[in-house]
Amino acid sequence: MFITMRRSLPREIQAAQDKMERHARDYGLDFFETIFEVLDYDELSMFAAYGGFPVRYPHWRFGAEYDELMKGYAYGLQKIYEMVINTDPCYAYLLASNSMMDQKLVIAHVYGHCDFFKNNAWFAPTNRKMLDEMANHATRVSRYIDRFGYETVERFIDACLSVEDLIDPHAPHIRRDQPHPRPVVDPLELAEDDDDGATRFQSKQYMDTYINPPDVLAAEREQRDLKQKAKDRARSFPESPQRDVLRFLLEYAPLSPWQHDVLSIVRDEAYYFAPQGQTKIMNEGWASYWHSKIMTRHGLTDAELIDYADHHSGTMATSPGRLNPYKLGIELLKDIEDRWNKGKFGPEYDACTDARERAHWNRDLGLGRQKIFEVRKVHNDITFIDSFLTPEFCVDQKLFRFEYNEVHNAYEIASREFPAIKRQLLDSLTNHGRPFIHVIDGNHRNRGELLLQHLFEGIELRQDYARDVLENLVRLWGRPVHIRTLSDDKPLTLSFDGHAHESVVG
Amino acid sequence: MTRGIDNDFNRFKQIVRGKVRENLKKYITHGEMLGRQGRSIVSIPVSNIDIPHFRHGKKGSGGAGQGDGEIGQSIGQGDADGEGTGQAGSEPGERHFREVEVSLAELAEMLGRELELPRIEPRGKNRLSTQKDKYNTIRRRGPESLRHLKRTYKRALKRMISAGVYDPENPVVIPERDDRLYRGANSIVQPETNAAIVYVMDVSGSMTDEQKSIVRTEAFWIDTWLRSQYDGVEIRYVIHDAIAKAVDEDTFYHTKESGGTRISSAYRVVRDILNDEFPSDDWNIYVFQFSDGDNWGEDNRLCLEILEGDLLPVCNAFCYGQVESPYGSGEFLKELRTIQAKYDNLILSEIENKDAIYGSIKQFLGKGK
């Protein structure tokens, strides 16, 4: 297998790279060494299908992705212009058939990404030597395939991929409690005291309240309940709901060593890619901000202006049902720059209620550039939107909130109010708009069954998908698996025991 | 050296074709990509395999968007992807797409390859032929516009070398009058193949917009394929409820009536069109009928009569696509099944939803008729 096709860059592109790199540095961008390679579409599609890496473990889903990219290109629907991966040194791939103007634009764009990868806090814990790590994963999986058979390994990977998003993206950044080892329960202790009623003496009915005083009985019952609860607690684990389902499976599922390794590979890669999902808007916005700045100030020749405008506006195009992260990101960054240049922030500005005065507010602070550099360092998409989205910006950018209308079977514009839009944006960014799933109990009903909980926040779980995931989870866990959720405002438990599905309401 | 991606790709193809891993079959999606052809939108089938994840359902879902529009204005069908923000989640790498254009001929070719459609053998009856000029010979005389530059210079070079005036140090070749060669045309007689397509659609109240959009997508692909197979293609449209009429394309897709359904009325109109315009000796005739299968009970007998007597004998293929609708009974398909065994040019297909379009096109055109 080849790692990369080390080809020297065409001189023209090398010159463009040197120039763009110089401009990027002059503006204060700070990046790892960036290595550009020029690929034809076939190669670029392969890299893209592999998530930007030259080598990944064998799996059909990469083939599917490749097929789609190649088809899109063959039918002339879409075309990838560039790819860049978060490694040190940074690798970026350019499409050979791009015009020189396109190459300059994407080179400038890539430097934006590289700076973001290196400096944004959310990328800090990622493995910058992932190129090697991915190749390493590929070798390990290939070895298992040789030993256990293609289909066996593939089926297992399919099951792992079905739960690959059940990770805790914040885990690399904070210290959570170490999960407790599986509790050891003394069977003798559990065996004793197994009768279920309270201690009751025989008595005539009229004497009953004296011989068996109700308050004593109640106290006794309470005692026993407490004990029972303690017993249950001792049997069930983890102590508190755990969001990193993959880690829980790695720790407790009865996996053979190779399965354990494959699952941990899937989990590692999921954690590696997670920050890119967390910062899509900012990352694209930041890169677009810099390609636009560098190209319009320094990069363009007169002849290229129209092509540049066409390409740039194509990238920034919006459509009603889809929020373009490039557009939202660059506009919000520009807005922040403008506000900090003019001093449109702080208590004095916030207290001002006169719309005219607010609109013409200008304290000539010139802090804009400094501010956006700070923003790119500490924020992710959620905190970015939460901190900087303003009502004025929403009106300016014609943002709206839409929702699904069951009667019309259509998505309809629901609101143009600031709080509604902001809330919706934050909702759809939180956990990528996906349901929160936690492990509640790894010894459910004291039968070693796995119980998951869907944290219901207003949107129901898609049940057909959920059932299929349960089937895959049973393959990993080896015992029946349940998930608790809400449907039509009633609690619902979906279960799969390896043979049949069950759903219990209430 | 085989690349990893080729192995992955082949594996994927095998799964999609159902050769291995049968249990994944239910996850195979026959999606479509939307492309532009001039001003119209075209759809290209793309298969993929869904890996199930815990996901939100549609109920209670929504998102944030950008653009003009009043409150309450619809921005898209509910069956679109629910992830409104376009967040592909942890989409690996950072990449960057743009759209470009595509030609119809390429589309047809790709469709044929994708669905493994056989080339159509035009029927032997056809007698139409056309003369075509093909420029495939060389002449000594001709108009200057047809001068064959390369041959002329080669000839001049030959002459100069044999005359000994050619100097390799100063390679100048000067053609003279006699060196000039011209392209010449041969007339060849080619049989011309023409096809007539008649689309019939039920526009009674029971057909909803969703059913119509299925018909539209399917008709687009049928057109594209048949156009690639024949020199000339004529298309007619017939709509019917209790009465039928021939209409233009736009009316075909946009009419909505509320009446009952009498399919025989449409068959009569089709019969008249075929008799008047498309004699079956000269034309390859295709009839595609789309309906939700509702018909007035006493009409079925009459339908079969016209079908067996007048239509099936002249058609290359008579294709009936039954679109599943919440209101239709689907009875008519059963009627047709009773005579299906007798005619191999009667092709029936059930189209449950958008995903089934793919299979249905293959059923209609897969026989190579």
- Of A18-27, A364-373, B101-110, B189-198, give the lowest mean pLDDT range: B101-110
Q: Residue B95 and residue A83: Cβ atoms within 8 Å?
A: yes
- Residues 397..456 of A with a Cβ closer than 8 Å to B: which? 397-406, 408-416, 421, 424-425, 428-429, 432-435, 437, 454
Task: Assign residue A432 a region (left: φ > 0; alpha: ψ between -120 and 50; beta: otherwise).
Answer: left
- Residues 52..71 of B with a Cβ closer than 8 Å to A: which? 52-71
Tell me the C-alpha distance between B166 and B189, whole Å.
45
B346-351 and B317-323 strand pairing: parallel
Element (H, E) at A369: helix A368-378
Phi, psi for residue B74 in degrees, rounded to 5: -75, 140
Tell me the C-alpha distance between B216 and B199, whole Å.
10
Neighbours of B357 (CB within 10 A): 24
Chain A residues touching B95 at Cβ < 8 A = 48, 52, 80-83
Chain B residues touching A154 at Cβ < 8 A = 11, 21
Tell me the C-alpha distance between A234 and A236, whole Å.
6
pLDDT at A194 over 50: no
- Which residue in the block uniquely carries the two structure tokens 């709509």? B239
Paired tokens of A269 = 């890669």
Element (H, E) at A188: helix A187-191
Element (H, E) at B46: strand B40-49
- Is the Cβ–Cβ distance between A434 and B101 less than 8 Å? no
Q: Residue A138 and residue B4: Cβ atoms within 8 Å?
A: yes
- For residue A89, cis peptide bond before it (omega within 30 degrees of 0): yes
Q: What is the pLDDT of residue B369?
A: 67
Residue of A nearest to B101 (CA): A76
Phi, psi for residue B24 in degrees, rounded to 5: -80, -5
Paired tokens of B137 = 């010979």
pLDDT at A409 over 50: yes
Determine the distance in angstroms separating the CA of B138 from the nearest CA of chain A, rounded to an integer.
37
**ipTM of model:** 0.79
- Cβ within 8 Å of residue B329, ≥6 positions away: B292, B293, B294
Q: What's chain A's length in residues?
A: 506
Mean local confidence (pLDDT), A459-486:
91
Paired tokens of B22 = 């049968």
Residue spans in chain B of domains classed CATH 3.40.50.410: 193-365
Encode pLDDT of A115-173 as tens digits.
999 999 999 999 999 999 999 999 999 999 999 999 999 999 999 999 999 999 888 88
With CA atoms as reference, report the closest residue to B318 among B352, B272, B280, B369. Answer: B369
Chain B residues touching A52 at Cβ < 8 A = 92-93, 95
- Residue A175 burial (CB < 10 Å; 0-12/13-18/19+)? exposed
Q: What is the pLDDT of residue B78?
A: 46
- Specify the amino acid at residue A360: H
Phi, psi for residue A74 in degrees, rounded to 5: -65, -40
Is the CB of residue B82 less than 8 Å away from at least one CB of chain A? Answer: yes
Paired tokens of A386 = 């939460």
Mean local confidence (pLDDT), A485-501:
90
* H-helix segments, A6-99: 11-26, 41-49, 60-74
Q: Residue A469 and residue B60: Cβ atoms within 8 Å?
A: no
With CA atoms as reference, report the closest residue to A491 among A480, A470, A506, A503. Answer: A506
* H-helix segments, A407-479: 418-429, 463-477
Give residue A268's pLDDT band: very low, low, confident or very high (50, 70, 90). very high
Q: Residue A411 and residue B63: Cβ atoms within 8 Å?
A: yes
Task: Assign residue A285 a region (left: φ > 0; alpha: ψ between -120 and 50; beta: otherwise).
Answer: alpha
- For residue A238, cis peptide bond before it (omega within 30 degrees of 0): yes
pLDDT at A317 over 50: yes
Paired tokens of B360 = 């249905």
DSSP state at residue A122: G
Q: Residue B54 and residue A138: Cβ atoms within 8 Å?
A: no
Of A409 and A292, more confident: A292
Strands (E), A29-168: 34-39, 79-85, 90-95
Chain B residues touching A246 at Cβ < 8 A = none
- Cβ within 8 Å of residue A55, ≥6 positions away: A1, A3, A134, A135, A138, B4
Chain A residues touching B58 at Cβ < 8 A = 404
Determine the distance in angstroms separating the CA of A398 from the nearest CA of chain B, rounded to an integer.
5
Neighbours of B27 (CB within 10 A): 15
Q: What is the pLDDT of residue B36?
A: 54
Q: Residue A461 and residue B27: Cβ atoms within 8 Å?
A: no
Is the CB of residue B176 less than 8 Å away from at least one CB of chain A? Answer: no
Is the CB of residue A95 less than 8 Å away from at least one CB of chain B? Answer: no
Determine the distance in angstroms separating the CA of A351 from the nearest CA of chain B, rounded to an integer.
28
Which architecture, in CATH terms, is B193-365? 3-Layer(aba) Sandwich (3.40)
Q: Residue B96 and residue A402: Cβ atoms within 8 Å?
A: no
Encode pLDDT of A169-185 as tens digits.
888 887 766 655 555 55
Tell me the C-alpha distance between B208 and B211, whole Å.
5
Paired tokens of B214 = 């299925």
Q: What is the pLDDT of residue B3?
A: 79
With CA atoms as reference, report the closest residue to A39 among A87, A73, A64, A71. Answer: A73
pLDDT at A451 over 50: yes
Q: Residue A413 and residue B88: Cβ atoms within 8 Å?
A: no
**A2, A273, A321 member nearest B90 (Cβ):** A273
With CA atoms as reference, report the closest residue to B324 among B348, B287, B344, B350. Answer: B350
User: What string of DSSP letters covers B73-90?
Assistant: -EEEETTS-S-TT---SS
Residue of A nearest to B5 (CA): A63
Tell me the C-alpha distance between A453 and A451, whole Å.
7
**B9, B46, B68 member nearest A63 (Cβ):** B9
Tell me the C-alpha distance between A13 and A18, whole Å.
9
Query: Which of A37, A56, A75, A142 should we substitute to test contact with B (largest number of B Cβ atoms within 10 Å)?
Result: A75
Residue of B nearest to A419 (CA): B64
Strand partners, A311: none
pTM of the model: 0.67
Residue of B nearest to A85 (CA): B93
- Cβ within 8 Å of residue B352, ≥6 positions away: B324
Q: Residue B51 and residue A397: Cβ atoms within 8 Å?
A: no
- Residues 20..79 of A with a Cβ closer than 8 Å to B: which? 46, 48-52, 55-56, 58-64, 66-68, 71-72, 74-79
Angle between helices B104-115 and A60-74 (to 10 degrees): 150
**A55, A80, A454 member nearest B97 (Cβ):** A80
Chain B residues touching A458 at Cβ < 8 A = 60
Tell me the C-alpha distance between A133 and A380, whole Å.
25
Phi, psi for residue B80 in degrees, rounded to 5: -70, 170
- Inter-chain CB pairs, A–B, below 8 Å: 324
Residue of A nearest to B92 (CA): A51
Chain A residues touching B65 at Cβ < 8 A = 319-323, 399-402, 413
- Cβ within 8 Å of residue A186, ≥6 positions away: none
With CA atoms as reference, report the closest residue to B108 among B284, B227, B230, B286. Answer: B227
- Is the Cβ–Cβ distance between A345 and A338 less than 8 Å? no
Residue of A nearest to B84 (CA): A322
Domain extents in chain A: 11-120+279-302, 317-430, 434-505
- Cβ within 8 Å of residue A10, ≥6 positions away: A38
- Specify the amino acid at residue A499: H
Is the CB of residue A137 less than 8 Å away from at least one CB of chain B? Answer: no
Give residue A381's pLDDT band: very low, low, confident or very high (50, 70, 90). very high
Encode pLDDT of A195-243 as tens digits.
555 677 777 778 888 888 888 888 888 888 888 777 766 677 787 888 9
Chain A residues touching B57 at Cβ < 8 A = 459-463
Order across the sheet with B94-98: list the strands: A34-39, A90-95, A79-85, B94-98
With CA atoms as reference, report the closest residue to B355 among B27, B9, B23, B10. Answer: B27
Q: Residue A465 and residue B89: Cβ atoms within 8 Å?
A: no
Q: Is the dihedral of CA A271, A277, A282, A283 positive or negative?
A: positive
Mean local confidence (pLDDT), A456-474:
88
Count of H-run helices and E-run strands, chain B? 9, 13
Q: What is the pLDDT of residue A331?
A: 95
With CA atoms as reference, report the closest residue to B247 among B262, B266, B263. Answer: B266
Of A198 and A449, more confident: A449
- Is the Cβ–Cβ distance between A163 and A469 less than 8 Å? yes
**A67, A274, A408 member nearest B12 (Cβ):** A67
**B7, B20, B87 member nearest A280 (Cβ):** B87
Q: Cα A74 to the chain's mean position, in Å?
A: 31
Residue of A nearest to B111 (CA): A75
Q: Residue A113 and residue B94: Cβ atoms within 8 Å?
A: yes
Q: What is the pLDDT of residue B64?
A: 80
Is the CB of residue B18 less than 8 Å away from at least one CB of chain A? Answer: no
User: What string of DSSP letters covers B275-301?
Assistant: HHH--TTT-EEEEEEEE-S---TTHHH
- Specify the amino acid at residue A272: Y
Is the CB of residue A329 less than 8 Å away from at least one CB of chain B? Answer: no
State the Cα torsion B242-B247-B252-B256 to the nearest 10°: -40
Q: Cα B133 to the chain's mean position, in Å?
A: 29
Q: What is the pLDDT of residue B97?
A: 47
Element (H, E) at A308: helix A305-316
Give residue A57's pLDDT band: very low, low, confident or very high (50, 70, 90). very high
Longest dimension (CA), chain B: 94
Tell me the C-alpha distance between A413 and A381, whole Å.
23
Chain A residues touching B11 at Cβ < 8 A = 58, 60, 63, 154
The angle subtended at Cα A402 by Cα A397 and Cα A407, nearest 5°, is 155
Q: Could you list the pLDDT tens digit for every one of the 369 residues in chain B?
A: 567 888 888 888 888 776 666 666 666 666 666 655 555 556 666 677 778 888 888 766 777 888 777 777 777 654 433 333 333 333 344 444 444 445 566 667 767 776 666 767 666 555 556 677 788 888 888 888 889 999 999 999 999 999 888 888 888 888 988 899 998 888 777 667 778 889 998 887 777 777 777 887 788 888 878 877 777 788 889 988 888 888 888 788 777 777 778 888 889 899 998 888 888 777 888 899 988 888 887 888 888 888 888 888 888 888 898 887 776 677 888 888 888 888 888 888 888 877 777 778 888 887 766
Tell me the C-alpha distance between B173 and B160, whole Å.
8
Mean local confidence (pLDDT), A315-326:
83
**A158, A315, A421 member nearest B51 (Cβ):** A158
In a 13 Å sphere around the CA of B203, the CA atoms on its Cβ side amount to 20
Determine the distance in angstroms separating the CA of B123 from the nearest CA of chain A, rounded to an integer.
32
DSSP helix/strand/coil, A37: strand
- Specify the amino acid at residue B140: R
With CA atoms as reference, report the closest residue to B16 among A122, A214, A67. Answer: A67
Query: Which of B3, B47, B87, B103 should we substitute to test contact with A (largest number of A Cβ atoms within 10 Å)?
Result: B87
